[in-house]
Structure 1
């Protein structure tokens, strides 16, 4: 079978250019961060959460660099039609998730190096990370301007909300790890277990949903796919509601402890509360869309 590549005009298309920028900027970012040494960041033992968030940022940049590079190659040689997946849903998922996750990394990494760096390389890495976010956001915008048939289910509002839920759950992983590490041993452990299980179940549900949609397994589900999604949305609302209430409770309890708890612990719990609240809002809106869809089909 001969290899078919894009036409010359396709190499100057907005989609090709932004994907090339994604690959270049993410490669520059994780290469610079991987080459950093503790002396360049003026690292010290009080900055305990640096390693966890640095791993999260490195995973984000490397993961989406790998996905974007593979997709770019498949798109250029026109082999994507041979893969038994929904290409339009895959490209939209990678673009939007890449924008959301790189946005989180672009906020976390500058916060980590703020007032700690003695080298220009961390600053350049932070700027490159912001460029990576802008590139993924640009690709998301380009894909969203296409027709509904071209962008697939993941380009619709319910699909975008599901990717927002997925990114929120992924951001919870390093936050929960650091909250557990920062809090004194035995303090609020039952609350941490409840919230950790809630976040884990929601991430698993989001992952299953994305796999079903991207691999076109919707027709093979035992239940109708719209009811399947509505059930996941309802469970996500309930679990995040419990987690958000626990987060607000922890903030009040930390204020009562006062000097016994460090400012870092309070800041991490506040960050967890903000992310949980925003993700809960995404699940709530998604549930409203799912209920509306079920009602419309019931009247049809």
Structure 2
């Protein structure tokens, strides 16, 4: 799998730099995503082939599955953004050859997404199997998705969302930042093999407590943000006709609201799964030994 998505990444970067091209913040993001994932795949392959990862103070299994999940999300986003902004039905001013290269870039990017997704699926822990690392579980993979969705929210907030106008929206930004910090903390602790750093409670209980707190905070933010952005007392429920396309604060507010609900659902699913694991573990029958 490493060879496949590395090949796709190399092909995408070569075609984009050769003829397909990219421009604007959307193109820069796609190119940065492809380059980052390609560099990460090459580094993982090198460290795994030379066994140098044993010299690193990290949990290698947790690190690789986390990187593969994050790369899959980056590729999914780039595979949507690039054709949305650069592939048109008519040929661009540079000629139809450019359009063909851009279509090929999109196809290779989708294949790279499938390769990373297949790697995550193969690494994911299944019922009855010995869990190599927390990040290989559904709860661990959800942590990666939650962090990625939070990054999308931060991007929308920075894109002229005008969140500073009301105390309620500022509170929501604090909630997003705090929950992201907690998620990043859990991921870093797991990847660095520091799951025993929490002395007052077990790591799985610590994760459940953090997830419960994040669910409550995101629930409040998912209610407060739409009120202060789309209620007629503070804003408008409809997109203003005079708002420029691509630079409209209302659009950024919509993105934040949608992904707030999405992340709330992810945290709820994470909490339910974590609690289910704890319930099953705590009620497993004890086997008496002769």
Normalised TM-score (structure 1)? 0.75
Would the alpha carbon gap of residues 216 and 55 (structure 1) be closer, same or farther in structure 2, given more than 3 Å must change?
same
Q: RMSD over aligned Cα, in angstroms?
A: 3.2
Alignment partner, residue 243 of structure 2: 261
User: 1:296, CA displacement in angstroms?
Assistant: 6.0
Alignment partner, residue 111 of structure 2: 131
Alignment partner, residue 23 of structure 1: 6
Alignment partner, residue 177 of structure 2: 200
Helix, strand or coil for the counterpart of 2:58?
coil
Aligned length: 269
Q: Tell me if structure 1 keeps the 8 A contact 2:175–2:217.
A: yes
User: 1:89, CA displacement in angstroms?
Assistant: 1.2
* Aligned mate of 2:265, from 277, 281, 299: 281
User: 1:218, CA displacement in angstroms?
Assistant: 0.7
User: 1:139, CA displacement in angstroms?
Assistant: 1.0
Unaligned runs of 5+ in 2: 93-97, 285-290
Distance 2:205 2:79 in 1: 36
Q: Tell me if structure 2 keeps the 8 A contact 1:254–1:261.
A: no
Alignment partner, residue 8 of structure 1: none
Distance 1:291 1:215 in 2: 24
Distance 1:191 1:122 in 2: 43
CA deviation digits over 1:243-276, x for unaligned, max 9?
Answer: 3224433245333573343454344433333222
User: 1:293, CA displacement in angstroms?
Assistant: 4.9
Alignment partner, residue 97 of structure 1: 70
Would the alpha carbon gap of residues 31 and 245 (structure 1) be closer, same or farther in structure 2, given more than 3 Å must change?
farther
Q: Tell me if structure 2 keeps the 8 A contact 1:144–1:151.
A: no
Q: Tell me if structure 1 keeps the 8 A contact 2:169–2:225.
A: no
Q: What are the within-5 Å matches in structure 2 for residues 229-240 of structure 1? A: 229-240=207-218
Higher helix residue share: 1
User: 1:213, CA displacement in angstroms?
Assistant: 0.6
Would the alpha carbon gap of residues 260 and 104 (structure 1) be closer, same or farther in structure 2, given more than 3 Å must change?
same
Distance 1:247 1:34 in 2: 41
Would the alpha carbon gap of residues 273 and 256 (structure 1) be closer, same or farther in structure 2, given more than 3 Å must change?
closer
Unaligned runs of 5+ in 1: 1-17, 44-49
Q: Does 1:149 align with 2:109?
A: no
Alignment partner, residue 173 of structure 1: 154
